[in-house]
Chain A
Amino acid sequence: MPQETGASVKLNLEGLLCPIPVVRVSQAMKDLPVNGVLEATATDPGVLTDIPAWVKSTGNELLSMEKKDKVITFTIRKAK
Protein backbone atom coordinates (compact mmCIF):
# COMPACT_ATOMS: atom_id res chain seq x y z
CA MET A 1 0.00 0.00 0.00
CA PRO A 2 1.30 3.48 -0.84
CA GLN A 3 2.16 5.61 2.21
CA GLU A 4 0.64 9.07 2.22
CA THR A 5 2.74 12.02 3.21
CA GLY A 6 0.51 15.06 2.93
CA ALA A 7 -0.50 15.55 -0.69
CA SER A 8 2.12 13.14 -1.92
CA VAL A 9 2.39 9.40 -2.12
CA LYS A 10 5.32 7.00 -2.41
CA LEU A 11 5.31 3.85 -4.45
CA ASN A 12 7.85 1.04 -4.68
CA LEU A 13 7.77 -0.63 -8.10
CA GLU A 14 11.15 -2.30 -7.90
CA GLY A 15 11.33 -5.73 -9.51
CA LEU A 16 8.03 -5.27 -11.37
CA LEU A 17 7.82 -5.53 -15.15
CA CYS A 18 5.50 -4.19 -17.85
CA PRO A 19 2.56 -3.56 -17.58
CA ILE A 20 2.48 -3.57 -13.76
CA PRO A 21 4.37 -0.30 -13.09
CA VAL A 22 1.89 1.63 -15.23
CA VAL A 23 -1.07 -0.09 -13.58
CA ARG A 24 0.19 0.65 -10.06
CA VAL A 25 0.96 4.25 -10.97
CA SER A 26 -2.52 4.77 -12.40
CA GLN A 27 -4.13 3.25 -9.31
CA ALA A 28 -2.05 5.38 -6.94
CA MET A 29 -2.79 8.53 -8.95
CA LYS A 30 -6.53 7.90 -8.59
CA ASP A 31 -6.27 8.30 -4.84
CA LEU A 32 -4.29 11.54 -5.07
CA PRO A 33 -5.91 14.99 -5.03
CA VAL A 34 -5.24 17.37 -7.94
CA ASN A 35 -1.70 18.77 -7.64
CA GLY A 36 -0.75 15.80 -5.47
CA VAL A 37 2.65 14.30 -6.23
CA LEU A 38 3.54 10.68 -6.67
CA GLU A 39 7.10 9.57 -6.12
CA ALA A 40 8.08 6.10 -7.25
CA THR A 41 11.11 3.88 -7.59
CA ALA A 42 11.39 1.14 -10.20
CA THR A 43 13.98 -1.17 -11.73
CA ASP A 44 12.37 -2.06 -15.08
CA PRO A 45 14.28 -0.03 -17.73
CA GLY A 46 11.03 0.06 -19.75
CA VAL A 47 9.76 2.56 -17.20
CA LEU A 48 12.09 5.19 -18.70
CA THR A 49 9.94 5.40 -21.82
CA ASP A 50 6.65 4.02 -20.50
CA ILE A 51 6.06 6.50 -17.71
CA PRO A 52 6.62 9.59 -19.94
CA ALA A 53 4.21 8.01 -22.45
CA TRP A 54 1.63 7.26 -19.76
CA VAL A 55 1.88 10.81 -18.43
CA LYS A 56 1.37 12.16 -21.94
CA SER A 57 -1.69 10.05 -22.67
CA THR A 58 -3.33 10.77 -19.31
CA GLY A 59 -2.55 14.51 -19.23
CA ASN A 60 -0.47 14.48 -16.06
CA GLU A 61 2.92 16.06 -15.51
CA LEU A 62 6.26 14.32 -15.13
CA LEU A 63 8.28 16.43 -12.69
CA SER A 64 11.47 14.40 -12.63
CA MET A 65 12.98 11.10 -13.63
CA GLU A 66 16.45 9.87 -12.95
CA LYS A 67 18.33 6.60 -13.04
CA LYS A 68 20.96 5.80 -10.46
CA ASP A 69 22.63 2.41 -10.88
CA LYS A 70 19.64 0.18 -11.46
CA VAL A 71 17.03 2.21 -9.65
CA ILE A 72 14.85 4.68 -11.51
CA THR A 73 13.17 7.38 -9.43
CA PHE A 74 10.42 9.53 -10.87
CA THR A 75 7.84 12.02 -9.66
CA ILE A 76 4.49 12.81 -11.29
CA ARG A 77 2.11 15.65 -10.49
CA LYS A 78 -1.59 14.98 -10.87
CA ALA A 79 -2.77 17.68 -13.26
CA LYS A 80 -6.52 17.07 -13.30
Chain B
Amino acid sequence: MQNRDGVTIVVFSGDMDKVIAAFNIAVGAAASGKETTMFFTFWGIKAIQKGNLTGKSFFGRMMGLLNRGGINRIGPSRFNFGGIGRWMFKQMMKAHNVTPLEELRKMAVDLGVKLVPCQMSMEVMEIRREDLIDEVAEPAGVATMLEAAGRSFATLFI
Protein backbone atom coordinates (compact mmCIF):
# COMPACT_ATOMS: atom_id res chain seq x y z
CA MET B 1 0.00 0.00 0.00
CA GLN B 2 1.38 3.35 -1.04
CA ASN B 3 1.92 5.90 1.66
CA ARG B 4 -0.47 8.80 1.08
CA ASP B 5 0.69 11.40 3.53
CA GLY B 6 1.82 14.23 1.25
CA VAL B 7 0.29 17.42 -0.07
CA THR B 8 0.38 18.43 -3.73
CA ILE B 9 -0.53 21.92 -4.89
CA VAL B 10 -0.91 22.96 -8.51
CA VAL B 11 -0.34 26.70 -8.73
CA PHE B 12 -2.07 27.77 -11.94
CA SER B 13 -2.83 31.33 -10.91
CA GLY B 14 -0.27 34.11 -10.97
CA ASP B 15 -2.40 36.35 -8.78
CA MET B 16 -0.73 37.55 -5.62
CA ASP B 17 -3.60 36.62 -3.30
CA LYS B 18 -3.89 33.10 -4.67
CA VAL B 19 -0.15 32.59 -4.62
CA ILE B 20 -0.10 33.71 -0.97
CA ALA B 21 -2.79 31.12 -0.19
CA ALA B 22 -0.82 28.43 -2.03
CA PHE B 23 2.45 29.15 -0.19
CA ASN B 24 0.61 29.49 3.10
CA ILE B 25 -0.85 25.99 2.73
CA ALA B 26 2.47 24.59 1.54
CA VAL B 27 4.34 26.05 4.50
CA GLY B 28 1.70 24.78 6.92
CA ALA B 29 1.79 21.31 5.39
CA ALA B 30 5.58 21.14 5.49
CA ALA B 31 5.55 22.34 9.11
CA SER B 32 3.13 19.50 9.88
CA GLY B 33 5.63 17.02 8.53
CA LYS B 34 3.94 16.41 5.19
CA GLU B 35 5.99 15.90 2.06
CA THR B 36 4.86 18.90 0.03
CA THR B 37 5.15 19.51 -3.69
CA MET B 38 4.08 22.61 -5.59
CA PHE B 39 3.68 22.53 -9.37
CA PHE B 40 3.79 25.88 -11.12
CA THR B 41 1.99 26.05 -14.42
CA PHE B 42 0.77 28.82 -16.74
CA TRP B 43 0.45 32.10 -14.84
CA GLY B 44 1.70 30.41 -11.70
CA ILE B 45 5.21 30.29 -13.20
CA LYS B 46 5.44 34.02 -12.43
CA ALA B 47 5.76 33.20 -8.73
CA ILE B 48 9.06 31.38 -9.30
CA GLN B 49 10.57 33.69 -11.91
CA LYS B 50 13.55 35.87 -11.10
CA GLY B 51 11.75 38.81 -12.69
CA ASN B 52 13.90 39.58 -15.70
CA LEU B 53 12.39 40.09 -19.16
CA THR B 54 11.82 36.84 -21.04
CA GLY B 55 10.93 35.54 -24.48
CA LYS B 56 12.64 34.95 -27.80
CA SER B 57 10.07 35.36 -30.55
CA PHE B 58 8.01 38.52 -31.03
CA PHE B 59 5.00 37.09 -29.16
CA GLY B 60 7.23 35.58 -26.51
CA ARG B 61 8.92 38.87 -25.79
CA MET B 62 5.60 40.71 -25.83
CA MET B 63 4.30 38.22 -23.28
CA GLY B 64 7.44 38.61 -21.20
CA LEU B 65 6.85 42.36 -21.14
CA LEU B 66 3.09 42.45 -20.54
CA ASN B 67 3.06 39.45 -18.23
CA ARG B 68 6.36 40.00 -16.48
CA GLY B 69 7.13 37.51 -13.72
CA GLY B 70 8.71 37.87 -10.29
CA ILE B 71 7.11 37.34 -6.94
CA ASN B 72 7.09 41.02 -6.04
CA ARG B 73 5.56 42.04 -9.34
CA ILE B 74 2.38 39.99 -9.22
CA GLY B 75 -0.84 41.72 -8.17
CA PRO B 76 -4.05 40.61 -6.43
CA SER B 77 -6.89 38.99 -8.43
CA ARG B 78 -9.20 41.86 -7.47
CA PHE B 79 -8.67 45.56 -6.86
CA ASN B 80 -5.25 45.70 -8.44
CA PHE B 81 -5.96 48.99 -10.25
CA GLY B 82 -2.75 48.84 -12.24
CA GLY B 83 -0.51 48.13 -9.28
CA ILE B 84 -2.07 50.41 -6.65
CA GLY B 85 -3.95 47.44 -5.19
CA ARG B 86 -0.75 45.44 -4.91
CA TRP B 87 0.92 48.30 -3.04
CA MET B 88 -2.13 48.69 -0.79
CA PHE B 89 -2.20 44.96 -0.02
CA LYS B 90 1.48 45.01 0.86
CA GLN B 91 0.96 47.97 3.18
CA MET B 92 -1.97 46.28 4.88
CA MET B 93 -0.08 43.01 5.25
CA LYS B 94 2.83 44.88 6.77
CA ALA B 95 0.52 46.74 9.16
CA HIS B 96 -0.93 43.44 10.36
CA ASN B 97 2.47 41.79 10.55
CA VAL B 98 1.69 39.17 7.90
CA THR B 99 4.75 37.53 6.35
CA PRO B 100 5.61 39.02 2.94
CA LEU B 101 5.21 36.64 0.01
CA GLU B 102 8.90 36.46 -0.83
CA GLU B 103 9.72 35.50 2.75
CA LEU B 104 6.93 32.92 2.71
CA ARG B 105 8.43 31.38 -0.42
CA LYS B 106 11.87 31.25 1.21
CA MET B 107 10.31 29.61 4.24
CA ALA B 108 8.71 26.99 2.00
CA VAL B 109 12.09 26.24 0.43
CA ASP B 110 13.77 26.02 3.85
CA LEU B 111 11.09 23.61 5.06
CA GLY B 112 11.78 21.36 2.10
CA VAL B 113 8.79 22.14 -0.11
CA LYS B 114 9.59 21.02 -3.65
CA LEU B 115 8.92 23.70 -6.27
CA VAL B 116 8.43 22.14 -9.70
CA PRO B 117 8.03 24.26 -12.84
CA CYS B 118 5.82 22.97 -15.67
CA GLN B 119 7.98 22.28 -18.70
CA MET B 120 5.18 22.85 -21.20
CA SER B 121 4.29 26.27 -19.80
CA MET B 122 7.94 27.25 -19.97
CA GLU B 123 8.10 26.21 -23.64
CA VAL B 124 4.92 28.06 -24.59
CA MET B 125 5.81 31.24 -22.74
CA GLU B 126 9.47 31.02 -23.73
CA ILE B 127 10.75 31.00 -20.18
CA ARG B 128 14.14 29.39 -19.68
CA ARG B 129 15.48 27.57 -16.62
CA GLU B 130 17.78 30.59 -16.04
CA ASP B 131 14.71 32.84 -15.78
CA LEU B 132 13.54 30.89 -12.73
CA ILE B 133 14.88 31.15 -9.18
CA ASP B 134 17.71 28.75 -8.37
CA GLU B 135 15.68 26.90 -5.72
CA VAL B 136 13.28 25.23 -8.18
CA ALA B 137 13.53 21.53 -9.04
CA GLU B 138 13.89 20.14 -12.56
CA PRO B 139 11.00 21.18 -14.83
CA ALA B 140 8.48 18.36 -15.19
CA GLY B 141 5.15 17.39 -16.69
CA VAL B 142 1.76 16.02 -15.75
CA ALA B 143 3.02 12.48 -15.01
CA THR B 144 5.33 13.85 -12.31
CA MET B 145 2.48 15.90 -10.86
CA LEU B 146 0.17 12.85 -10.83
CA GLU B 147 2.84 10.68 -9.26
CA ALA B 148 3.14 13.21 -6.41
CA ALA B 149 -0.67 13.39 -6.18
CA GLY B 150 -0.71 9.60 -5.80
CA ARG B 151 1.40 10.00 -2.67
CA SER B 152 -0.78 12.80 -1.30
CA PHE B 153 -3.92 12.90 0.82
CA ALA B 154 -4.73 16.35 -0.56
CA THR B 155 -4.19 17.74 -4.04
CA LEU B 156 -5.15 21.34 -4.63
CA PHE B 157 -5.50 23.36 -7.80
CA ILE B 158 -5.09 27.06 -7.15
Contact surface of A with B, Cβ cutoff 8 Å: 15-20, 22-23, 25-27, 54, 57-58
Contacts and interface: CB of A to CB of B under 8 A. Distances in A.
14 contacts: A18-B28, A19-B28, A19-B31, A19-B104, A22-B31, A23-B28, A23-B31, A23-B107, A25-B31, A26-B32, A27-B31, A54-B31, A57-B32, A57-B34
Interface SS majority for chain A: helix
Contacts, number: 35
Nearest to B5: A57
A15 B95 CA distance: 11
B21 to A, nearest CB: 11
Contacts of A20: 99
Contact of B24 (A16, A18, A57): A18
Contacts of B111: 23
B97 A16 contact: yes
Sort chain B's interface into a size bin.
Answer: 10 to 19
Interface string B1-34: 0000000000000000000000010011001111
A58 B33 contact: yes
Nearest to A25: B31
A18 B32 CA distance: 13
Given A19-B24, A26-B33, 13 more contacts: A15-B97, A17-B99, A18-B24, A19-B27, A19-B99, A22-B28, A23-B27, A23-B28, A23-B31, A23-B107, A25-B31, A57-B32, A58-B32
Q: Which 7 A-B pairs have the closest CB atoms?
A: A26-B31, A19-B28, A23-B31, A19-B27, A57-B32, A22-B31, A17-B98
